[in-house]
Structure 1
Amino acid sequence: MAYPHIGIIGGGIAGATAALHFADLGLQVSIFEQGPSLVDGPPICHLHAGGNLYREISQQQCVQLLKESIETVKLYKYTMNVRPTVIAVPIQDKGQPEDLLPRLQVIKDAYQSLVEQDSSNQVLGDPQHYFKLYSQQELERLSKRDVPNPDSLTEQSLDEWMIPFAKSVDLNTLKFPVVLVQEYGLSVFRLSATVNLALGQLPNCQIYTQTQVIGVEAQDKQWTIHHTSYDANQSVHTPEQATTVDYLINASGYQTGVVDDWINAPRSRLVEFKAAYVTHWQEGSALWPEVIFHGERGTPQGMAQLTPYPDGYFQLHGMTEDITLFEDGVAHSTEESSQPKLPVHLVNKIIHGWSEEQQTIRTNKAIQHMAQFIPSFASATLGGKPLFGAQQIPGTDITLRAASVSFAGDNYARMEIVKASSALEAAKQIEEQMRECGFYDERQLTQQNIASQLTIEQVLDTACTLAEQRHYPLALAKVGGVQSK
């Protein structure tokens, strides 16, 4: 049986993970990416191992995100920033902290069960310590303790992780209890470094970066992908080339509908443009947990998210229309086209970047949004350009977070992930469909797992180079939190 040639359009986290998965199996893979390197898209920063950032999603989605996150960490072992996340409900919010507790217990039990099935699933610390609750009195006591030496912290030093929070947050703005949960960070730069290094070592994977796919057509039972490449300054395009593949994976991110339209495979979806902001806070030199202040999405009181990195850098989300969200930032597909149309000014941001004025205004609003809970954060300054991009959401539910893949016919799959941790599960579902359709016999293949052979030094070195090339602070590529024990 001849092995199929797989064509993947899009080299973001979805396409790159699929390329790594199938190339590891020994299949021939060609991946096409517009940018200069793989995984250079929306602001991935959180593992979502339990979905606790999103109180509006179902328990089923939370458990699915937990399972997918564990598999993701096992594939990309140097990408995690090991530090817990604090979930707090502000006094002004309609929700109650107690509402979070049944779900936390379900996720904790699911994690315990996964660890009992396979000890290698224990990537989020001891399941017994998956979460802990703190009263106002306990936090006031912790606020009087000294900030611990970073070298003394482990992922299980729960009270010690809470000390910077207890010292800096205005506790009178919160309802209690406050939750600490073992949801960790994810480094987009170390993720990118891992796939770029690993795929570069696989001779059966052809990587086409700085390549524009300009059309796809069906030919017999195959697909012909028409593409052209351009040099770094995009002034010279090569003549059009054609690559014929047996199976087509559409991993085009927010542009997935363009390929759907080319091959007449209609699909309903949303596209949302979002941004996060890079700040530097002189007082933030301690090892911080990530902090989530819940709020109603799209209102001035939208969720505030503080993501820590080394060297006093923090990434901010504010789920309001003048910070992370945009007034006209959600577009819908139509009966005429599967590709939602974002406004021109947002597409221009994706292609050309932001003006300094835009960066400064929105970053300062993000700082002010955080300072209502952490007053001393008002002294933070702009630390770099925003992390931004557009994400697709299949269907019509803007709150959907656990999504993976859909199929049209026997040899076309769309990767429709919303969270980075869903990419590997989507690739596995495509593998299963390919086997069911007789593309190959798994008994003839040997899994390699090239990524596991990389060293932390290799990944860090490449991640720092990528951060530099993309004009972001090196801190975003470095290891945050503690070394997992």
Structure 2
Amino acid sequence: MVTTRIYMKDKALPHNHRSSLSVGIIGGGIAGSTIALRLAELGINVEIFEEGISLVNGPPICHLHAGGNLYREISDEQCITLLQQSIDSLKVFPHTVNVRPTVIAVPKPDKGDPVNLIPRLSKLQSFYRQSVEQDPTNQVIGHPDGYFKLYEQNDLERLSQQSMPTHPESFDDWMIPVAKNLDLNQFKYPLALVQEYGWSVFRLAATANLALDKLPTCQIHTQSKVTHVSQQTDLGWQIEYQQYDSGCQDYVTHRLEVDYLINACGFQTGLIDDMARQQRSRLVEFKAAYVTQWPDNQGCWPEVIFHGERGTPDGMAQLTPYPDGYFQLHGMTEDITLFKQGLAKSTATSAQPKLADGFIRKIKSGWDNQEIHTRSERAIRHMSRFVPNYKTAVVGGKPLFGAQQIPGDDVTLRAADVSFAGKRYARTEIVKASSALSAANSIVEQLHAEGLFQAQVDGMNIAQAFPVTRSLSVKDIEAYAISLAHQRGYPEALAKTLSYDLKK
């Protein structure tokens, strides 16, 4: 039975920089949590609602898109946007990144030509160099001169004869396991090594949970499902939600009012749009990545991207390394990462695309063990086409999975952050996690524009904007991340820090 309690939420104790503004954020994923951090650090009163038992638990985040080089189909402008967003994100979340480069390889059967990638890489390198010249603190992915390096087949044949380094210190060191394990005759040349790092969803989650818990301006409502929102004239919103009460072992209905509402519900953003009577065209796509362990692995691997045509049997393959011989695999085919009928579109009567019931069951209740093994083994076979020895890898755990929203109708869109509709209402629409900070900054600007928040933030650098978030130690973040991995049923290797000092 659900009982109802109606009340106005008591404000937390004031502090020196507290604003009278209150903001409700529905959704505690990477977007909602980053926005909550940004606003709460400014002294704005934040109420964040999350259905799960902890924050940041959604689609598989594994890659910091510092240039978007995984996606050759997107525009140069999107790549530059992703690079800038990644630089800013690294400055806010320095302990969440796995420091290792990414290799881009084009198989011979693929229609693409790796030479066509070089102008974009040069453009990104130039942008990064200018960014560092303007602000030296932007040098967060190595020296601009080393943003990328190209390798011809004879370079890799030479490297394949060298001993495997235990601690990579140069680009060539990172390429040695690649050179030793790839069938070098299968690829077009050159291969490109790029300074795009990995990103740990578990350490992001740990950072958000730890920092928001320290901020007196933020109230976290986990195990809370928002059931209704309504605008109270032009002055704010009422949020009705059900929260699990362990005392009575039942869900209790609450209501509270906020001055501004942010819809950060990820793939369920359309549900709140419908409640708020805000129509929006969007796509939702269900995806999964697979956790594998490669006992025969030797050396420290970079991430490796094998380009391919999306949705075909030759779809892109992605090999993402973690400590202890664990690798996360993507295969952009309908039998691996993508799913038949896994893409849904909003309608004229609802802003919420309707995924098939089977996908919702996976999100809410988990996967059938047989399907975990079937799809993981397909991912292993797909990877072994390019890395023959990978056939000895085994299933390492359940998939990382979720549904991803894409605003509009372009399934290739990657750089998006936030949109505003109606009065005192914003919706986040990030496709990549690195866009979350951009969304947060845009919301701060909007609050200024609407006259709701007057504190001066122009010229405030990242360190000044996130003092509590940046004060967390790598030790505390990693320990909390490992506990989250255990809680969520994943190997702790996915939460551990992977970091090497990379020289030119």
Where on the TM-score scale, by shorter chain, does this alignment land: which range? over 0.9
1:170-249 paired onto structure 2 within 5 Å:
170-220=183-233, 221-230=235-244, 236-249=249-262
The alpha carbon displacement at 1:194 in A equals: 0.5
Mapped partners of 2:271, 2:207: distance in 1: 28
Counterpart contact for 2:157–2:179, Cα < 8 Å: yes
For 2:80, give the aligned amino acid: V
Counterpart contact for 1:285–1:311, Cα < 8 Å: no
1:271 corresponds to which residue?
Answer: 284
Counterpart contact for 2:417–2:428, Cα < 8 Å: yes
Q: Relative to structure 1, is the Cα distance of residues 431 and 369 closer, same or farther in structure 2, using a 3 angstrom cutoff?
A: same
Counterpart contact for 2:55–2:209, Cα < 8 Å: yes
| Residue 77 (structure 1) aligned with residue 94 (structure 2) | yes
For 1:243, give the aligned amino acid: L
SS in 2 for 1:442: coil
2:3 corresponds to which residue?
Answer: none
Counterpart contact for 2:278–2:422, Cα < 8 Å: no
Mapped partners of 1:167, 1:448: distance in 2: 43
| Residue 20 (structure 1) aligned with residue 37 (structure 2) | yes
Q: Once the two structures are superposed, what CA deviation does each residue of 1:79-107 show, in whole Å capped at 9, x if it has no partner? A: 11000000000001000001111100010
The alpha carbon displacement at 1:231 in A equals: 5.4
1:479 corresponds to which residue?
Answer: 497
1:111 corresponds to which residue?
Answer: 128
Query: Please, which moves more after superposition, 391-400 or 401-410?
Result: 401-410
For 1:431, give the aligned amino acid: V
1:303-314 paired onto structure 2 within 5 Å:
303-314=316-327
One of 480, 483, 488 as aligned partner of 1:465: 483
Count of residue pairs the alignment pairs up: 480
| Residue 363 (structure 1) aligned with residue 363 (structure 2) | no
1:47 corresponds to which residue?
Answer: 64
For 1:420, give the aligned amino acid: A
1:3 corresponds to which residue?
Answer: 20
Counterpart contact for 2:102–2:302, Cα < 8 Å: yes
1:89 corresponds to which residue?
Answer: 106
Q: Relative to structure 1, is the Cα distance of residues 420 and 235 closer, same or farther in structure 2, using a 3 angstrom cutoff?
A: farther
For 2:329, give the aligned amino acid: L
Counterpart contact for 1:210–1:231, Cα < 8 Å: no
2:171 corresponds to which residue?
Answer: 158
The alpha carbon displacement at 1:284 in A equals: 1.9
| Residue 386 (structure 1) aligned with residue 384 (structure 2) | no
1:294 corresponds to which residue?
Answer: 307
Mapped partners of 1:448, 1:133: distance in 2: 37
| Residue 256 (structure 1) aligned with residue 273 (structure 2) | no
For 1:196, give the aligned amino acid: N
Aligned residues with identical type, % of pairs? 57
| Residue 405 (structure 1) aligned with residue 418 (structure 2) | yes
1:123 corresponds to which residue?
Answer: 140
The alpha carbon displacement at 1:448 in A equals: 5.0
Counterpart contact for 2:19–2:44, Cα < 8 Å: no
The alpha carbon displacement at 1:365 in A equals: 0.2
The alpha carbon displacement at 1:331 in A equals: 0.2
1:102 corresponds to which residue?
Answer: 119
Mapped partners of 2:268, 2:248: distance in 1: 23
Counterpart contact for 2:203–2:477, Cα < 8 Å: yes
Q: Once the two structures are superposed, what CA deviation does each residue of 1:327-367 show, in whole Å capped at 9, x if it has no partner? A: 11000000010000000001100001001100000000000
SS in 2 for 1:177: strand
SS in 2 for 1:89: strand
The alpha carbon displacement at 1:177 in A equals: 0.5
The alpha carbon displacement at 1:14 in A equals: 0.1
| Residue 62 (structure 1) aligned with residue 62 (structure 2) | no
| Residue 417 (structure 1) aligned with residue 430 (structure 2) | yes
Counterpart contact for 2:50–2:221, Cα < 8 Å: yes
The alpha carbon displacement at 1:204 in A equals: 1.0
For 1:45, give the aligned amino acid: C
The alpha carbon displacement at 1:295 in A equals: 0.1
1:439 corresponds to which residue?
Answer: 452
Q: Once the two structures are superposed, what CA deviation does each residue of 1:241-268 show, in whole Å capped at 9, x if it has no partner? A: 0010000000000000000000110000
Mapped partners of 2:41, 2:315: distance in 1: 42
Mapped partners of 2:65, 2:160: distance in 1: 28
Mapped partners of 1:271, 1:466: distance in 2: 26
1:318-397 paired onto structure 2 within 5 Å:
318-397=331-410
Mapped partners of 1:447, 1:407: distance in 2: 23
SS in 1 for 2:456: helix
2:15 corresponds to which residue?
Answer: none
Gaps of 5+ in 2: 1-17
Structural RMSD (CA) = 1.6
Counterpart contact for 2:245–2:252, Cα < 8 Å: no
Gaps of 5+ in 1: none
The alpha carbon displacement at 1:115 in A equals: 0.4
Q: Relative to structure 1, is the Cα distance of residues 231 and 304 closer, same or farther in structure 2, using a 3 angstrom cutoff?
A: farther
For 1:334, give the aligned amino acid: T
Mapped partners of 1:399, 1:448: distance in 2: 32
Counterpart contact for 1:405–1:414, Cα < 8 Å: yes
Counterpart contact for 1:32–1:207, Cα < 8 Å: yes
2:6 corresponds to which residue?
Answer: none
The alpha carbon displacement at 1:410 in A equals: 3.4
The alpha carbon displacement at 1:481 in A equals: 3.7
Mapped partners of 1:42, 1:392: distance in 2: 10
TM-score, length-scaled by structure 2: 0.93
The alpha carbon displacement at 1:230 in A equals: 1.8
Mapped partners of 2:240, 2:95: distance in 1: 35
1:141-156 paired onto structure 2 within 5 Å:
141-150=158-167, 153-154=168-169
For 2:142, give the aligned amino acid: G
The alpha carbon displacement at 1:484 in A equals: 6.8
Q: Relative to structure 1, is the Cα distance of residues 484 and 238 closer, same or farther in structure 2, using a 3 angstrom cutoff?
A: farther
Counterpart contact for 1:410–1:437, Cα < 8 Å: no
Counterpart contact for 1:268–1:395, Cα < 8 Å: yes
Q: Relative to structure 1, is the Cα distance of residues 126 and 437 closer, same or farther in structure 2, using a 3 angstrom cutoff?
A: same
Counterpart contact for 1:143–1:166, Cα < 8 Å: yes
Query: Please, which moves more after superposition, 474-483 or 346-355?
Result: 474-483
Mapped partners of 2:193, 2:82: distance in 1: 18
SS in 1 for 2:95: coil
Counterpart contact for 1:273–1:389, Cα < 8 Å: yes
2:4 corresponds to which residue?
Answer: none
TM-score, length-scaled by structure 1: 0.97
| Residue 453 (structure 1) aligned with residue 471 (structure 2) | yes
Mapped partners of 1:477, 1:402: distance in 2: 26
For 1:95, give the aligned amino acid: G
Mapped partners of 2:338, 2:263: distance in 1: 26
Mapped partners of 2:134, 2:248: distance in 1: 55
